[in-house]
Structure 1
Amino acid sequence: MESIDFKSVETIGIALIGLVAALARLVKPSPKKTLRDDIKADLEILQGLPEESSARTEMLDHIEKMVRQLSEERNRRPDPVGIVFGVCIILAASALGIWAVNIGGWAAWICVPVAVCLFIFGSLGLTADMTGRARKERKDPASG
């Protein structure tokens, strides 16, 4: 079994990074609209609606739902320790997989499935920790 030619992988990787960098300069990101921007726009629409309009109550309900969603999002934050741990697991799984393929034989039969499982585990953990988790409620020191 042949080993991986890392010189070719390095050359392809550098070419891909250059291509992504060139494409990134061509693509201009649109300004990101936030939930706050949507709430502000909906409030302006609400002000323009007549008082007796049935659409006014629907718009108020919609705005209230968005404000609740904004409040829930503020209480969530990414977990930096979990993100670093997930990246480390993914890197270790990748290294184990590459090593097992280069060694070949029984090591590949044992280590490659383990590497795949570790990669999936790290990816799931990384995704969960990047999307955030609910913040812990702070205890008021005055309440005891």
Structure 2
Amino acid sequence: MTVAGVQFSELVQVAIGVVAVAGALLKILPARGRTTLRDDIRTDAEIVGLLPEGKARERLMEHIDGLVARLAEEQGHRRDPAGMALGVSFMIIAGALGILGMNLGGWAMWALLTTAVLLFCFGLIGFSMEAEKRARGEADGGERTA
């Protein structure tokens, strides 16, 4: 099958290569300007060591206490990578159905495009729901809540 004069199999190979290169670049390139909560705590603790006794030092210590409490709370949160992968899979399948529908034309185009839009919406909703950090349950290694 051809899409805009290019064989579909060649298009798929190019897409796979682009995704692989993009993934590798994201792993290799350092996170610029992004600091973790631990980095903030470490920096603030160093500053506390330089400050003289007084209100400023006490306020910064209270701030550090709040950051440590937030870090402890976030330790039990995680994303669901399986659900995220399923959402992305739905979106990829939707894209493939959309391309197939455009190539077929006629009534099949409308049927496949409608299905593709619905699948893409399900995938997008599923991905966004699972990408949100949530508290882990006991089965996931989190703490027992009851």
With normalisation by structure 2, the TM-score equals: 0.69
Which structure 1 residue ranges, 4+ long, deviate > 6 Å from structure 2? none
Q: CA RMSD in A?
A: 3.3
Instruction: Classify 1:29/1:139 alpha carbon distance in 2 versus 1 (closer, same or farther; 3 Å).
Output: closer
- Structure 2 equivalent of residue 65 of structure 1: 66
Aligned partners of 1:3 and 1:101 also within 8 Å: no
Q: Which amino acid in 1 is paired with 2:41?
A: I
- Structure 2 equivalent of residue 108 of structure 1: 109
State the Cα distance separating 1:106 from its structure 2 match: 1.8
- Structure 1 equivalent of residue 134 of structure 2: 133
- Structure 2 equivalent of residue 78 of structure 1: 79
State the Cα distance separating 1:42 from its structure 2 match: 0.6
State the Cα distance separating 1:139 from its structure 2 match: 5.9
Counterparts of 2:127 and 2:12 in 1: how far apart (Å)? 26
Q: Which structure has the greater CA radius of gyration?
A: 1
Q: Deviations over 1:71-105 (max 9, x none)?
A: 23211112233123213322321232122112211
State the Cα distance separating 1:45 from its structure 2 match: 0.9
The gaps in structure 1 that reach 5 residues or longer are none
Aligned partners of 1:77 and 1:132 also within 8 Å: yes
State the Cα distance separating 1:127 from its structure 2 match: 3.3
Q: Deviations over 1:24-59 (max 9, x none)?
A: 4xx74258743112202211211221222x222321
Within 5 A, what are the aligned runs for 1:24-103?
24=25, 28-29=29-30, 33-52=35-54, 54-103=55-104
Q: Deviations over 1:89-125 (max 9, x none)?
A: 2232123212211221122223313312321321232
- Structure 1 equivalent of residue 8 of structure 2: 6
Instruction: Classify 1:30/1:19 alpha carbon distance in 2 versus 1 (closer, same or farther; 3 Å).
Output: closer
Counterparts of 1:35 and 1:119 in 2: how far apart (Å)? 34
Counterparts of 1:49 and 1:14 in 2: how far apart (Å)? 54
Alignment coverage as a number of residue pairs: 136
Aligned partners of 1:78 and 1:133 also within 8 Å: yes
Q: Which amino acid in 2 is paired with 1:138?
A: R
- Structure 1 equivalent of residue 140 of structure 2: none
